[in-house]
Amino acid sequence: MSGFVQLAFEGPLARLTLKRADKLNALDRAMIDALAEAARAIDASPEARVAILSGEGKAFCAGGDIAAWGGLPPLEMWRDWTRAGHRAFEALARLRVPLIAALTGHAFGGGLELAAVADIRIAESGIKLGLPESGLGMAPGWSGTQRLVRRFGASVVRRMALTGAMFPAEAALSLGLVDEVTAKGEGVVRAEALAADVAKRGPLAVQMVKAMINAAEGEDRDAPIEGLAGALTAYTEDLAEGVAAFRGKRSPTFAGR
C-alpha cells in the first residue's frame, strides 16, 4: 500500500481512504497501484460485506497529479499511466461488495472518475464536481467519457467535459451525479449508516444483485453471467457424477439434476 492510500478492515466494513491532503489527494502512480492492491485485498477478505471510499482534507480527489504525468511521452502516457488507472478503477468498480463514496471534498477530473466507480455517492454540501481536462488541452483518461456516460448520461458529461462546467453538490444531485447530499461534516457518517444497512442484508444476495446490475450496465457483463452459471452447477448431482467419472476414468451417467 502507498503511504497515501490506507485500507482498514472494521468487521464487515472495508474503509479505503486517500491521505494526501496537502496535494488535494491527487493521484500519483504509487497511489494508483495501491488502489488496485486495495481492491484485491477487499475481494480476498471473507468478512468484507461493504466498503467506503473517502479522501482526507478539502478534496475527495483532484484527479491525476500533473507532476506524475505531465512529462510523459505519448506512448508511455497510454501504455503506463492511462492503462494503470483503468485497471485500478475497473477493479474497484467490479468489487464483489458494494462500494460507497463519501465525497467530503471536491471531485475533479480523475477524482470524479474515481467517485464514479462507487455504487452509491454521498456528497457534502459545498463541494463541486467536474471534468476540467479539456481546459488543460487533454481528454479524460480514466473512463470519464465511458463509465460516466453509462452511469450519469451523455448530456451531463458533455456539459462538464466540453465546457468545463462545475456542479455544486445540490445541482449534482438533481443531475444524478450523486445519490444524496448531506450537511458539511456529515458525509462519512451518512456513508457509515448506509454501509451498516448493507451489512445487515444477506451478503450473497447483495453481491449477486451488484454483479447483475453491473452486467446490465455493461460494467462487467461476462464474469457475472458465467459466475452465476458456475455457482448454479457447482452443487448439482451431475457435476458430482462428472467429477467421479473423470477420476474413475469412465463415461459419466448424467441425471439432469
C-alpha cell at 59: 478534496
Residue 100 CA to residue 31 CA, distance in Å, equals 19
Give the pLDDT mean for 120-127: 98
The verdict on whether 241 is a catalytic residue reads: no
The Cα 34–Cα 38 span in angstroms is 6
Averaged pLDDT for residues 226-253: 85
With pLDDT > 70 as the criterion, what percentage of the chain qualifies? 98
The question of whether 47 is a catalytic residue gets the answer no
Average pLDDT on 178-204 reads 97
Residues 6+ apart with CB under 8 A from 220: 90, 93, 94, 211, 214
Is the pLDDT reported for residue 2 higher than 80?
no
The second-level CATH assignment, the architecture, of 5-199 is Alpha-Beta Complex (3.90)
Mean pLDDT on 121-146: 93
Q: Which of 37, 90, 124, 133 is catalytic?
A: 133
Grid-cell match 467517485, residue found: 115
Q: Of the candidates 112, 130, 95, 74, which has an alpha carbon nearest to the alpha carbon of residue 7?
A: 95
pLDDT for residue 70 is more than 80: no
Q: Is the pTM of this model over 0.85?
A: yes
pLDDT at 109 over 70: yes
At residue 151, the pLDDT reads: 94
Q: Which residue has the higher pLDDT, 227 or 141?
A: 141
Of 113 and 65, the one with more pLDDT: 113
Catalytic residue among 10, 47, 56, 113: 113
pLDDT at 1: 60
Q: 86 or 226, which is more confident? A: 86
Domain borders along the chain are 5-199, 203-248
